[in-house]
């Protein structure tokens, strides 16, 4: 597979993001809310670069996509939804693709009384966004290709790779998500 982002590149960028988040949230009650499952590796690395008291919560969200790329409503697993009332929430995901997942979650967190809601993504895919959302923190902008590794999967495989690679000859599987 073609490596798009090496382990060293990712680690260096995650360190930089951690520094920025640490500086900007200093003295505020930070809650990082990560979207399962693709964000797990990024989450684990990023929180160890933020020298602040913080809470971590995990969310399970899925948007059932139709035959083409029209996203259906976002389904949230209520069992996972943390109490965010009065907290400064940083929503974390592996990749910003169409933007439907994160923009729906920003609304949800606001409705649940978060004091502020920001977003952090490791990757942002060029030319794919259907919903306007400017991530507050972004690791890398990448071309429109299907990528795996560092948490990102193809049919639940490849999440454990320490780098991000382009899956050869692949089209995104219908309803890819998570
Ligand atoms: P969005 O709602 O279209 O922005 O969906 C983002 C979700 O789709 C991510 O959290 C990933 O789980 C998944 N996804 C999008 N592009 C890729 C990719 O290239 N590889 C693996 N998963 C992807
Ligand atoms: Mg995901």
- For residues 55 and 140, give the distance between their C-alpha atoms in angstroms, rounded to a whole number: 25
pLDDT confidence bin for 67, thresholds 50/70/90:
very low
User: Ligand 1 centre from 144 Cα, in Å?
Assistant: 11
Pocket test for ligand 1, best of 38, 76, 102 (most atoms within 8 A of CB): 38
Ligand closest to the CA atom of residue 177: 1
Q: Which atom of ligand 1 is nearest to the CA of 101?
A: 2
Instruction: Specify the number of domains making up the chain.
Output: 1
- The answer as to whether 130 is a domain residue is yes
Residue 109 DSSP code: H
125: Cα separation from own chain's centroid: 12
pLDDT confidence bin for 173, thresholds 50/70/90:
low
Judged against a pLDDT cut of 90, whether residue 29 lies above it is answered with no
Judged against a pLDDT cut of 70, whether residue 144 lies above it is answered with yes
- The answer as to whether 121 is a domain residue is yes
Contacts of 27 (CB under 8 A, 6+ apart): none
> 96 in ligand 1 pocket by Cβ < 6 Å?
yes
- The answer as to whether 38 is a domain residue is yes
- The answer as to whether 169 is a domain residue is no
Domain around 130: 7-143
At 70, phi and psi to the nearest 5? -70, 120
Specify the residue with its C-alpha closest to ligand 1, atom 19: 146
Residue identified by tokens 């640490």 is 22
Specify the residue with its C-alpha closest to ligand 1, atom 15: 97
Residue 47: strand, helix, or coil: helix
- The answer as to whether 19 is a domain residue is yes
97 given a catalytic annotation: yes
Q: What angle do CA 119, 123, 129 make, to 5 degrees?
A: 75
Of residues 108 and 171, the one with the higher pLDDT is: 108
Tell me, what's the pLDDT at 71?
A: 57
Q: Which one of the listed residues 45, 94, 97, 153 is annotated catalytic?
A: 97
Distances 104 to 30, 40, 75, 91, 158 between C-alpha atoms, Å? 20, 20, 10, 11, 27
> 133 in ligand 1 pocket by Cβ < 6 Å?
no
Q: Which atom of ligand 1 is nearest to the CA of 128?
A: 3
What predicted TM-score, i.e. pTM, was given to this entire model?
Answer: 0.91
CATH number at residue 83: 3.40.50.2020
- For residues 145 and 122, give the distance between their C-alpha atoms in angstroms, rounded to a whole number: 15
The packing angle between helices 40-47 and 7-24, to 10°, is: 60
Q: Which atom of ligand 1 is nearest to the CA of 130?
A: 3
Structure tokens at 15: 């360190």
Structure tokens at 2: 């073609």
Summarised one tens digit per residue, pLDDT across range 104-136 is: 999 999 999 999 999 999 999 999 999 999 999
- The answer as to whether 150 is a domain residue is no
- The answer as to whether 132 is a domain residue is yes
- The answer as to whether 162 is a domain residue is no
- Sheet harboring 30-35: ordered strands across? 54-59, 30-35, 88-96, 116-125, 137-142
Contacts of 39 (CB under 8 A, 6+ apart): 92, 93, 94, 122, 151
């Amino acid at each position: 597979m073609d490596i798009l982002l090496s382990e060293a590149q990712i680690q260096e960028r995650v360190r930089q993001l951690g520094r920025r988040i640490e500086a900007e949230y200093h003295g505020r009650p930070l809650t990082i809310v990560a979207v399962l499952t693709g964000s797990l590796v990024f989450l684990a690395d990023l929180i160890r670069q933020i020298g602040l008291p913080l809470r971590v919560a995990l969310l399970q969200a899925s948007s059932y996509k139709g035959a083409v790329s029209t996203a259906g409503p976002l389904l949230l697993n209520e069992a996972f939804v943390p109490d965010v009332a009065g907290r400064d929430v940083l929503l974390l995901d592996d990749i910003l693709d169409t933007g439907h997942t994160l923009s729906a979650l920003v609304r949800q967190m606001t409705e649940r009384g978060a004091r502020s809601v920001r977003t952090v993504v490791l990757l942002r895919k060029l030319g794919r966004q259907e919903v306007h959302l400017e991530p507050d923190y972004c690791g890398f902008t990448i071309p429109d290709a299907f990528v795996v590794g560092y948490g990102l999967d193809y049919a639940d495989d490849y999440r454990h790779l320490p780098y991000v690679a382009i899956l050869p000859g692949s089209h995104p599987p219908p309803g890819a998500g998570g």
